[in-house]
């Protein structure tokens, strides 16, 4: 039996999930709200995905995480940044400023639908950086998970470029087959506007000047991109931080076959357990 239409969204195959759009007609963001099962908790979470190829590889993991959180009573909302996934817009809309605004819209939507008084964010990779930025601007986020958040823009770009070259070495097409390749920057199959590359290159830890949340969990899964600087910075800002290392160096590596991308269940369970302890 297919999805069932409801008044303001589409009920998914999951009995507690509902898809809908956030924002104006011109800037609609696709979202999926996971209603809490059992006794609702007064802390809801918005999940901020990574970007590009990483978002595709981790779509299923984020869906599983949303299910785990909602099963223990946390209202949870997943969404696509503008210009990504099923949201309105295109590559020209890709910017850290736009995506920071999108996080705020998603948080407001979660609060309106669930009625929670405490807000939480979970951000992965570039989504982790955007979550930190949005939370610091808002000042009303109670709990935040930064999972391998981008804290050094140049290191992030260098790693993506290296993976891009590895992908091309295995691909069934050659770069010289693309007539636009000389005028377009591309990373792992995604055209990258120059403005976004400028945004990424400017990411540095000194940007964080205000505590993004009262409580934070920093998840680090590969030592090549340590999160110690982020942990120290948040501690200096008065955040109650827990730093967990779950060694998984292949987690963010480009994979041609998505069937080989595993769900890091230990990390998801760690986030779920931490969330359960963050009640006011």
- Give the pLDDT confidence of 116-139 residue by residue, as tens digits: 999 999 999 999 999 999 999 999
**In degrees rounded to 5, what are phi and psi of residue 19?**
-95, 145
Quick one: average pLDDT of 200-223? 93
Q: Which residue has the higher pLDDT, 152 or 27?
A: 152
Quick one: average pLDDT of 37-50? 95
Query: Does 105 score more than 80 pLDDT?
Result: yes
CATH dotted code for 4-276: 3.40.50.1820
Annotated domain spans of the chain: 4-276
Quick one: average pLDDT of 178-187? 56
Quick one: average pLDDT of 237-263? 81
**In Å, how far are 25, 134, 222 from 118, measured between CA atoms?**
28, 15, 31
**In Å, how far are 47, 77, 111, 181, 264 from 196, measured between CA atoms?**
21, 25, 30, 17, 29
Quick one: average pLDDT of 155-181? 68
Of the ranges 160-169, 180-189, 206-215, 248-257, the best mean pLDDT one: 206-215
Residue appearing with tokens 């041609």 = 256
- Going by pLDDT thresholds of 50, 70 and 90, the confidence category of residue 1 is very low
Quick one: average pLDDT of 228-233? 96
Distance between CA atoms of residues 204 and 219, nearest Å: 18
pLDDT of residue 224: 81
User: In the chain, where does DSSP find H-type helix?
Assistant: 53-71, 96-114, 126-138, 153-170, 194-201, 228-236, 265-276
Q: Work out the number of other CB atoms within 10 angstroms of the CB of residue 209.
A: 8
pLDDT of residue 4: 30
- Going by pLDDT thresholds of 50, 70 and 90, the confidence category of residue 149 is very high
Enclosing H/E stretch for 191: strand 190-191
pLDDT of residue 7: 30
Q: Which residue has the higher pLDDT, 224 or 126?
A: 126
Query: Does 36 score more than 60 pLDDT?
Result: yes
Q: By C-alpha distance, which of 158, 268, 160 is closest to 221?
A: 268
CA 13, 264, 197, 109 torsion-angle sign = positive
Query: Does 190 score more than 60 pLDDT?
Result: yes
pLDDT of residue 196: 85
Residues 50-97 have pLDDT tens digits of 998 888 889 999 999 999 999 999 999 999 999 999 999 888 889 999
Query: Does 12 score more than 80 pLDDT?
Result: no
């Amino acid at each position: 039996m297919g999805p069932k239409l409801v008044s303001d969204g589409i009920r998914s195959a999951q009995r507690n999930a509902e898809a809908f759009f956030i924002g104006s007609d011109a800037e609609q963001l696709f979202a999926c709200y996971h209603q809490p099962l059992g006794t609702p908790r007064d802390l809801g979470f918005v999940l901020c995905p990574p970007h590009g190829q990483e978002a595709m590889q981790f779509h299923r993991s984020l869906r599983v995480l949303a299910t785990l959180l909602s099963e223990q009573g946390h209202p949870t909302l997943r969404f696509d940044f503008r210009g990504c996934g099923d949201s309105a817009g295109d590559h020209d809309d890709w910017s850290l400023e736009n995506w920071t605004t999108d996080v705020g819209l998603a948080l407001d939507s979660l609060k309106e639908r669930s009625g929670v008084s405490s807000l939480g964010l979970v951000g992965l990779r570039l989504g982790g950086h955007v979550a930190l930025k949005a939370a610091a601007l808002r000042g009303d986020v109670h709990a935040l998970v930064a999972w391998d958040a981008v804290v050094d823009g140049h290191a992030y770009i260098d790693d993506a470029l290296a993976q891009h070259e590895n992908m091309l070495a295995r691909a069934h097409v050659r770069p010289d087959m693309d007539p636009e390749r000389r005028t377009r920057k591309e990373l792992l199959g995604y055209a990258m506007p120059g403005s976004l590359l400028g945004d990424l290159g400017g990411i540095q830890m000194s940007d964080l000047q205000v505590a993004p949340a009262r409580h934070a969990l920093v998840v680090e899964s590969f030592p090549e991109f340590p999160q110690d600087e982020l942990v120290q910075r948040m501690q200096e800002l008065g955040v109650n931080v827990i730093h967990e290392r779950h060694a998984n160096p292949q987690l963010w590596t480009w994979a041609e076959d998505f069937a080989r991308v595993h769900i890091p269940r230990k990390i998801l369970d760690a986030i779920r357990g931490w969330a359960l302890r963050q009640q006011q």
